[in-house]
Amino acid sequence: MSRAVTLIREGNCARITLFNPPVNALTQRLRRELLQALAAAESDSAVEWVLLRAGGRCFSAGADMGELDRLHEAPSLPELTLAIESGAKPCVAWLHGAVLGGGLELAMACDYRIGPPELRLGLPQIALGLIPCAGGTQRLPRLVGLVAALRLLLCGDTIGAGEALRFGLIDRVAPRLHVEAEQQQEAWTLATQGGRRTRDRRIKVPVADVVGWLDAQYRALPREERDNPACVRMIAALRAAVHEPFDEGLRREWALHLECLGSPEHRDRVEARQGSLRRPHRAARGDLPKEAS
């Protein structure tokens, strides 16, 4: 069986590439191999920075639908994002195609993010009655502010590179470069700025009374959205992001995610999603990859 993650050292760069076709789903095997590659890069004295990229048609569309109940298996996705963020060497994510769900959580744990104009980024877990489990509710508001984070988390929609750049979700929009050496040089310009952990950023909030504001935003949602139990848990996770230390916020997010995972509403949404995917249909441009979420 070929490896899902490869590491190649080019000068002072450890280039780590994900390759788990068709959408680089973050399976337990990929997570294990990625953690091994990160550890190897960290222990190599000749490596000064890490470039995280992916082969195939997209960076990553997130967790495999068939493994949603296995995200806790070591190394879990939260463990993996913490390993990226706690590394002593700057890590730059070169993104392309779809960057969704756990794939975006992985990218947000890196120090910098760069990609072409064709990018589509989002956290669509709400559609399955879930909230992110690997820091999505904690890192996203630190990057884009609480107002934009609430919108992206509750609607689950994707945004393009231009909007992501304006929000601060990515650091640079680059032309599509097919030569690896050019990608590496482009990413190096960011890595030279040094480490910049997402967890250390302050969250921009719209008002002093964040709890009251979040509660008001929840009450203003249409009834059908409030009937999704993941919505109230998303609000609770964002409240933790603002008021709790980062690590405590991660623990709170994980506990709320597990509550969602065990809910009948989540199971119903997964069954409905799988049923719709089994029915023959003409793929619409922009559909989310069906193998992952």
* Within-domain flag for 62: yes
* Within-domain flag for 24: yes
Contact present, 273 and 291 (Cβ < 8 Å): no
Bridge partner list, 229: none
Count of other CB atoms within 10 angstroms of residue 194: 10
Going by C-alpha positions, the residue among 55, 58, 84, 67 that lies closest to residue 26 is 67
Q: pLDDT tens, 233-242?
A: 999 999 999 9
Going by C-alpha positions, the residue among 136, 104, 99, 103 that lies closest to residue 119 is 99
CATH of the domain at 89: 3.90.226.10
List the strands of the sheet with 159-160, edge to edge. 98-100, 120-122, 159-160
pLDDT at 112: 98
* Within-domain flag for 149: no
pLDDT at 64: 77
Rounded mean pLDDT, 244-267: 92
pLDDT at 178: 62
* Within-domain flag for 242: no
> What is the CA angle 61-291-161, rounded to 5?
25
pLDDT confidence bin for 183, thresholds 50/70/90: confident
**Kind of pairing, strands 98-100 and 112-115?**
unpaired
Rounded mean pLDDT, 265-283: 64
Structure tokens at 117: 């104009």
**Kind of pairing, strands 49-54 and 112-115?**
unpaired
Residues 6 or more apart whose Cβ sits within 8 Å of residue 279 = none
pLDDT at 266: 80
Looking at residue 141, its amino acid is P
Going by C-alpha positions, the residue among 196, 101, 120, 198 that lies closest to residue 162 is 120
Contact present, 3 and 16 (Cβ < 8 Å): no
* Within-domain flag for 205: no
Bridge partner list, 51: 15, 92
Torsion angle, alpha carbons of 186, 191, 196, 197, to 10: 80
* Within-domain flag for 60: yes
Structure tokens at 254: 């994980």
* Within-domain flag for 104: yes
Domain count, the chain: 1
Count of other CB atoms within 10 angstroms of residue 248: 13
* Within-domain flag for 38: yes
Lowest mean pLDDT among 3-7, 269-273, 287-291: 287-291
Residue 78 lies in domain? 5-124+158-197
Bridge partner list, 98: 120
- 78 preceded by a cis bond (ω within 30 of 0): no
State the pTM of this model.
0.90
pLDDT at 287: 38
Q: Tell me how far apart the alpha carbons of residues 24 and 89 are, in angstroms, rounded to a whole number.
A: 24
